[in-house]
Structures are given as C-alpha cells and as structure tokens.
C-alpha cells in the first residue's frame, strides 16, 4: 500500500532572500576590505561570493526538486537538493584554497592595515545581515524538512562566526601592531571553511546513496509500529531513506492470517496515518503479510532468495 504524494509549499522565496543577502554582504565586505586592506576581510568577501553561487544553485535545484513526479521520475525530483549542497561544498573548498593562498602571501610580506574602525563597522553590518538570513533559513528548513535550506543556513552561520573571528583579528592587529595576525587568522578561516565544505559534500553523498533517516526518526517510526502489537500486528523489513524534503518508509506489516483483506487494509491505513503524523512529508509503502505463514519471514533482507527450481 502507498499513500498519495501531497503537494509541498514552494521554498524558492527563501533562495531569493539568500541571493539578495549575498549581494548585500559582498558589497559591504568589499568596501571593508578596500578601506582596510585586510586579507582577512578579503577572505570574508571571497566567501560571500561562494554564498552567492551557492544561493543561485539553491534556487535552481529547489526549482527542479519541486517539479511533480512524472513518468521518468515516479519518486519525484527531491534528490536534486543534494546536488545543490554538494556544489556549494565544492565552491567552499575552492574559496578556502584562494583565501589560503592570499593569506600565505601576506604572511610572508605583512602590510599595515588602514581605516580599521570603519572597515570593522562595515563588516559587522554584513555579519548581522548573514545572521538574520541564516536564522530565517534554518527556521524554514526545520519547518519544511529541506536539507538544501538547512545547508545554506549553516553555511551562512559559518560565515557569521568566520566574520567574527576576522573582525577580532583585525582589531587585535590595530591594538598590538602585529600585522602577521591578520593573515594568520585568515589561514584559520580557510581551514574552517574547508571543514564546512567537506561536511556539506559528505551529507550530499549520503543523501544520494539513500542513507537511512536519522536514528531519532527511525525510533519514532518503530514506536508507532509497536503500538499495534496488542492487536496482533507485527512488522519487519523496515527501510527508510531521505530524498530532499521527502522521507520514504517501506515496511512489511504482519497481520493474523484469518483476517479479511478489507480488515487488514483498514488497520494498515491507521498505521500509515499515524506514521504520517509522526514523520512529516513522508511517503509510505506497506506490504501486508500473514503473520502465521513461515514464508512471510523469508523476505526481511533487501534481496530475497530466488525459489529453488523444481526437479
């Protein structure tokens, strides 16, 4: 049995907000770098370019993921979201290498910073913009179960913490006069960005490889199924996977063999309704089997053995 695929709200408006924020922060951080000459603030501006590229990819992939299922894609286009986070992760790594190159060059030939106070104020304003947008995206991601928006939100939050570190570094240079602190902190920024990029790529690969739902969600699913043990209903062969915003649940429901098809169907409909309430935006495929037939227990693995050929 399977449930119809419900319509999901469009999230593209959040991608447009992310794009607008990227343009704003690029402009602000470029001004901050131009005023100070800080390679740390330059690294911040470069990462904002990555934010823009990532936001554009988010828009494109959300547009694709929101297309309805068709004959060639009967399970929908939800996995398109993983291409967005993988692409963003790749861009983050490239940006980190660029930042590291610029930082090493400046570390070998330190230069004094200029207009530090004004530059830091401009960079701080850009960080506030990223913080507000990141919180908005994360709220939407948690509400709608969008991995793409969640990745974009965490990336922006990383940018916020990175900017905070850069601002601290530039401030320390202004106080101590140690110009090498600026490129040294830029190298730490680059390392942090690489780590963020790797995590995004890893999550994307897990989604494309049909990784199971998180353990907490699987525990919720099992709890729902076990509520019906008192009715003589058991289950096995539970499999889950995530595809963008949609969760897929496949399970074999074991019912007393004396039940009619209609009676078994009614109980499975109740189970599916409870699962949809516990796991938002999920697609359920339930296979009904008689609990007292030994053959019912032969198909718990992914690949059921072929029947032996008759002599």
Q: Which of 208, 231, 264 is the last residue of a domain?
A: 208
Same domain, yes or no: 176 and 221: no
Q: Which of 208, 234, 259 is the last residue of a domain?
A: 208
Same domain, yes or no: 226 and 142: no
Q: Tell me which of 105-119, 208-222, 227-241 is least confident.
A: 105-119
pLDDT at residue 153 in the model: 83
Expressed as residue numbers, the domain containing 28 is 12-208
Tokens 């990175």 found at: 162
Q: Do residues 87 and 54 touch, judged by C-beta distance below 8 A? A: yes
Structure-block tokens of residue 9: 């709200």
Mean pLDDT taken over the chain: 80
Task: Tell me: pLDDT of 203 over 50.
Answer: yes
Q: Do residues 189 and 45 touch, judged by C-beta distance below 8 A? A: no
What residues are paired with 290 via a beta bridge? 255
Q: Is the torsion defined by CA of 6, 7, 8, 9 positive or negative? A: negative
Q: Do residues 58 and 148 touch, judged by C-beta distance below 8 A? A: yes
In a domain, 259, yes or no: yes
Same domain, yes or no: 158 and 222: no
> What is the DSSP track for 56-91?
HHHHHHHHHHTSPP-SS-TT-STTHHHHHHHHHHHH
In a domain, 231, yes or no: yes
Mean pLDDT, residues 52-76 taken together: 84
pLDDT band at 39 (very low <50, low <70, confident <90, very high): low
Q: How far apart are the first and last CA of the chain?
A: 35
Listed residue (151, 157, 135, 159) closest to 245, CA to CA: 151
CATH at 60? 1.20.1510.10
Mean pLDDT, residues 131-135 taken together: 92
Helix 215-226 with 261-278: angle, nearest 10 deg: 150
Task: Tell me: pLDDT of 189 over 90.
Answer: no
Domains contained in the chain, number = 2
Strand 246-255 and strand 282-290: the pairing is parallel
Same domain, yes or no: 248 and 179: no
Same domain, yes or no: 250 and 111: no
Same domain, yes or no: 61 and 190: yes
Task: Tell me: pLDDT of 296 over 50.
Answer: yes
Structure-block tokens of residue 101: 């190159």
Same domain, yes or no: 64 and 160: yes
Task: Tell me: pLDDT of 34 over 70.
Answer: yes
Mean pLDDT, residues 205-217 taken together: 84
Same domain, yes or no: 155 and 282: no
Q: Tell me which of 25-34, 49-58, 294-303 is least confident.
A: 294-303
Q: CA-to-CA distance for 148 and 111, rounded, in angstroms?
A: 40
In a domain, 93, yes or no: yes
User: Higher-confidence residue: 170 or 57?
Assistant: 57
CATH at 266? 3.30.70.1350
Q: Which range, 3-7, 27-31, 271-275, is most confident?
A: 271-275
């Amino acid at each position: 049995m399977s449930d119809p695929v419900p319509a999901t709200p469009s999230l593209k408006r959040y991608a447009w907000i992310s794009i607008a924020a990227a343009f704003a922060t690029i402009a602000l951080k470029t001004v901050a770098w131009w005023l100070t000459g800080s390679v740390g603030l330059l690294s911040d501006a470069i990462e904002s370019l990555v934010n823009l590229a990532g936001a554009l990819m988010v828009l494109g992939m959300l547009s694709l993921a929101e297309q309805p299922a068709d004959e060639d894609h009967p399970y929908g286009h939800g996995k398109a979201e993983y291409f967005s986070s993988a692409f963003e992760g790749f861009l983050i790594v490239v940006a980190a290498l660029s930042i590291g190159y610029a930082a090493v060059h400046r570390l070998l030939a330190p230069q004094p910073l200029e207009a530090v106070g004004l530059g830091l104020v401009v960079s701080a304003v850009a960080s506030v913009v990223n913080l507000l947008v990141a919180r908005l995206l994360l709220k939407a991601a948690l509400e709608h179960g969008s991995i793409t928006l969640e990745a974009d939100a965490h990336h922006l939050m990383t940018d916020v913490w990175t900017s905070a570190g850069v601002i601290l570094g530039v401030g320390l240079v202004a106080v101590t006069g140690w110009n090498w602190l600026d490129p040294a902190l830029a190298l730490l920024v680059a390392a942090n960005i690489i780590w963020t990029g790797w995590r995004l790529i890893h999550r994307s690969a897990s989604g494309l490889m049909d990784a199971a739902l998180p353990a907490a969600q699987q525990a919720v699913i099992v709890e729902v199924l076990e509520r019906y043990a008192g009715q003589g209903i058991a289950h096995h062969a539970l499999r889950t996977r995530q595809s963008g915003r949609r969760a897929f649940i496949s399970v074999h429901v074991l019912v007393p063999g004396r039940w009619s098809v209609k009676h078994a169907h009614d109980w499975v409909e109740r189970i599916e309704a409870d699962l949809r309430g516990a796991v938002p935006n999920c697609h359920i495929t339930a296979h009904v089997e008689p609990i007292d037939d030994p053959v019912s227990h032969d198909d718990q693995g992914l690949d059921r053995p072929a029947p032996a050929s008759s002599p």
